[in-house]
Amino acid sequence: MGPEAERLLGTRIAILGCGSVGSALALDLVAQGASVLLWSRTPERARQTAEHVLGGLGTVVDEPEEALAAADATLMAIADPALASFAGEVALRVEPTSDSARAVLHTNGSLGPEILAPLAAKGFGTGKLHPLVAVASDPARSPGTFVDAWFATAGEGSGVEWATRIVRGLAGRELRLGSGDASLRLHAAASLLSGGVVALFDLAMEVLGDATRDTDAARAALLFLLHSTARNVEWHGARDGLTGPISRGACNLVRAHLETLEGEALEAYLLLGRRMLALARARGSVTDSSAVELARLFGDED
């Protein structure tokens, strides 16, 4: 569990972009006492967020610069391809500020705070606040999405100060990023893990196929295994949390798996098998002869 939340009572936070991330953030911020201003390129979406997600507690504004002028901190929940042009457009219309405590943050994963340079030139602190959490498409049904979550942050001055304050307000944990390509590397890692697990789960269900008469039970069983695997990694780390035939050098069983699988499932098993073998070798749970045989099965020289 993360630290106890520091309530955001009395703060004015603007959210530009009312998609799933923006709406879910609005819901959790309001729950912690913040006053939320909402804007969307599609005005109806902002109104729906205010009325149906926030129960009438959000204030819809007509223009993004209006939100920036009224807010202590502004969160831009705008898609990656549009963020640079959007920040530039808003910077052209917003008045410069002499209040160094005001900040604009974006929630995108792959971009750093430098994408908001036009707003920094207008006197705003700038930064990023990227939640490392899978967000439901209907935030109204999942309040507390960001409570206890990890957030990747970066920025300077009031930008990073506001990022930290919002994280604490949500009882979250902060992962401070470096410069350069740090944002892109983290985003790639997060996408590989989160999306990759979903794709792998779907592939595992496909492999299982008609091996059981009860698809719902099969799904529940694999989900239970997935949860227990995540718990193993949490408690023991990747190397010592690895289980299965590769981890113990069961060459005959691995060979049988490879003979059974085909297509994408076979490709995935070969690719991930090499990584599992590397972990098993690092742990010392396979003999040298088994390691050589497994490597050969995976198509490696060694």
Domain boundaries, the chain: 12-179, 188-297
* Predicted pLDDT of residue 136: 75
Distance CA 280, CA 246 (A): 7
| Buried-exposed string 292-301: b where 16+ CB fall within 10 A, e elsewhere | ebbbebbeee
Same CATH topology for 12-179 and 188-297?
A: no
Q: How confident is the model at residue 19 (pLDDT cuts 50, 70, 90)?
A: very high
Average pLDDT over residues 105-122: 95
Distance CA 55, CA 49 (A): 8
Distance CA 259, CA 187 (A): 35
Q: Does domain 12-179 have CATH number 3.40.50.720?
A: yes
Instruction: Identify the CATH number of the domain defined by range 188-297.
Output: 1.10.1040
Q: What are phi and psi of 289, to 5 degrees?
A: -65, -40
Q: What is the pLDDT of residues 41-86, one digit of tens each?
A: 999 999 999 999 999 999 999 999 999 999 999 999 999 899 999 9
Q: What is the pLDDT of residues 146-192, one digit of tens each?
A: 988 999 999 988 999 999 999 999 999 999 999 889 999 999 999 99
